[in-house]
Amino acid sequence: MNWWVSAISDSVHWDTNGLGIIDPRQFQHLLELMDSLQDYGLDTDLVENAFFAFAIDKIEKDKSVRLRKVEDSILESEDALFALPDIIDDEKGPYADLLEHLTKLRVKMLNDLIDFSSSLTVEELEEAIRETQNAAYMEGIAPHFFTEMTAILEFVPDGFELDGDDDEVGEKDETDDLGDALPDMDEEDSEDLEKDDTMKWDEDEDEEEDSEEEDSDKSTDDFDDGEDEER
């Protein structure tokens, strides 16, 4: 469900082949993960400045989406906005500053909640994430920004876990979304459904399969008998 930019209309020379954009659902999930860092000094200004905000302008016939840049606050807007990280300067830009900030806060939180034999360091977290990213690059996979951020916000060292893990906040099984989209049906209504020629029921399918197998076996036997008579 990751989004990638296929074309840009301005003169900024981004590498569009590796340029991901975070959709409103993903961004909301990231904000919920960041919420656990509020007590450790989360700087919301860094979050605000790290992204360009885009709104849907038009949906094309081929289902591609045309976005337009807006000046709304991405944290306070009531509209569903896409978030494009500001990576014009990869190493010193606002998005890089945000990743560094989140990494430090995550390490601080983990050291506070987990009794390590020796304190976890920023370098150890970065090294663990870098190994995963390098493995992805070796497979020709460009990590999406959403994946890059969740790797930090959900990081827990191997062999450890958080009690009542806050990282599960905002996560939802896909089947839940499907269930929400379907209308409720009472058991009585379900039982009142009548079969018709367009419906396939499990019992009917089983009976048809058994019948087809019997016909197949019978046909094979008839063929063998005929072959023996010819011989």
Position 220 in a domain: no
Position 17 in a domain: yes
- Collapsing DSSP to helix, strand or coil, 8 comes out as coil
Question: pTM of the full predicted structure?
Answer: 0.67
Q: Could you tell me the residue range of the domain that residue 117 belongs to?
A: 3-174
Position 24 in a domain: yes
Which tokens belong to 190?
Answer: 């379900």
Position 208 in a domain: no
Tell me the percentage of the chain whose pLDDT exceeds 70.
66
Tens digit of pLDDT for each residue in 45-70? 999 999 999 999 999 998 889 999 99
What is the pLDDT at residue 16?
A: 57
Tens digit of pLDDT for each residue in 78-89? 899 999 999 877
In a 10 Å sphere around its CB, with 0-12 CB exposed, 13-18 middle and 19+ buried, how is residue 129 labelled? middle
Question: At residue 201, does pLDDT exceed 80?
Answer: no
Position 57 in a domain: yes
Question: At residue 189, does pLDDT exceed 70?
Answer: no
Residues 6+ apart with CB under 8 A from 2: 20, 144, 146, 147
User: In this structure, are residues 64 and 6 in contact, taking their beta carbons and an 8 Å threshold?
Assistant: yes
Position 191 in a domain: no
- CB contact burial 43-73 (16+ within 10 A = b; e otherwise): eeebbeebbbbbeeeeeeeeeeeebeebeee
Q: What average pLDDT does range 97-111 have in this prediction? A: 96
210 compared with 42, residue with greater pLDDT: 42
What is the pLDDT at residue 68?
A: 94
As a whole number, the mean pLDDT across the chain is 76
- As a whole number of angstroms, the distance between CA 1 and CA 24 comes to 12
31 compared with 161, residue with greater pLDDT: 31
In a 10 Å sphere around its CB, with 0-12 CB exposed, 13-18 middle and 19+ buried, how is residue 166 labelled? middle
Which tokens belong to 182?
Answer: 């379907």
Q: Where does the pLDDT of residue 137 fall: very low under 50, low under 70, confident under 90, or very high at 90 and above?
A: confident
Tell me the percentage of the chain whose pLDDT exceeds 90.
45
Domain total for the chain? Answer: 1
Position 51 in a domain: yes
Nearest Cα to 59, choosing from 51, 68, 50? Answer: 68
Contacts 24+ apart (CB under 8 A), 58-65: 64/6
What is the pLDDT at residue 206?
A: 52
Tens digit of pLDDT for each residue in 113-134? 998 899 999 999 999 999 888 8
- As a whole number of angstroms, the distance between CA 96 and CA 211 comes to 66
Tens digit of pLDDT for each residue in 4-44? 888 887 776 666 556 899 999 999 999 999 999 999 999 99
Question: At residue 181, does pLDDT exceed 50?
Answer: no
What is the pLDDT at residue 208?
A: 52
Position 230 in a domain: no
Question: At residue 143, does pLDDT exceed 50?
Answer: yes
